[in-house]
């Protein structure tokens, strides 16, 4: 994995926020709801996580983010959870997920690495061009102090 997505994912503050989002989305066979948000760069060395309002079932209402910016700060990554682990539910990013990243003109900022999709066994990254790769094992990532 390129350095930048890894560095973002392993930032202690980001890691904790993603863990909270995962737990908050009520993972299980069914009945989960997606949680998501963005990671913004608030100073050259400091990241912050902004969570979206709670999703309804499988959708999240994403606030506007013109020019890949929230407030004054560049969006460096976005994320959402796939909490339902039953066989009826897709764990990996859906076609809609990929399109939502690739076709969003406001997610094409130079600092933006893509959207992390957190599922039980894998954290995926949808890159700005709509490709998917597996970037981390959540059991390992979230177990770190
Ligand atoms: Zn999704």
Q: What is the mean pLDDT of residues 124-129?
A: 96
- pTM score, whole prediction: 0.91
CA 111 to ligand 1 center in whole angstroms: 22
Q: What is the mean pLDDT of residues 7-29?
A: 95
Q: What confidence category does residue 1 fall into, taking pLDDT thresholds of 50, 70 and 90?
A: very low
Q: What confidence category does residue 55 fall into, taking pLDDT thresholds of 50, 70 and 90?
A: low
CA 82 to ligand 1 center in whole angstroms: 6
CB 37 within 8 A of CB 69: no
How far apart, in Å, are the Cα atoms of 3 and each of 10, 35, 61, 129, 139?
10, 25, 30, 18, 20
State the DSSP code for 28: B
SS (HEC) of 52-76: CCCCECCECCCCCCHHHEECCEEEE
């Amino acid at each position: 994995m390129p350095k930048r997505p890894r560095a973002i994912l392993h930032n202690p503050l980001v890691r904790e926020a993603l863990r909270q989002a995962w737990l908050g989305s009520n993972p299980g066979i069914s009945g989960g709801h997606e949680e998501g948000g963005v990671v913004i760069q608030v100073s050259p060395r400091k990241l912050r996580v902004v969570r979206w309002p709670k999703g309804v079932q499988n959708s999240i209402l994403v606030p506007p983010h013109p020019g890949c910016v929230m407030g004054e700060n560049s969006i460096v990554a976005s994320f959402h959870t796939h909490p339902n682990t039953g066989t009826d539910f897709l764990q990996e990013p859906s076609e809609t997920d990929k399109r939502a990243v690739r076709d969003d003109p406001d997610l094409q900022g130079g600092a933006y690495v893509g959207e992390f999709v957190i599922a039980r066994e894998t954290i995926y990254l949808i890159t700005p061009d709509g490709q998917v790769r597996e970037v981390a094992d959540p059991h390992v990532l979230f177990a770190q102090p």
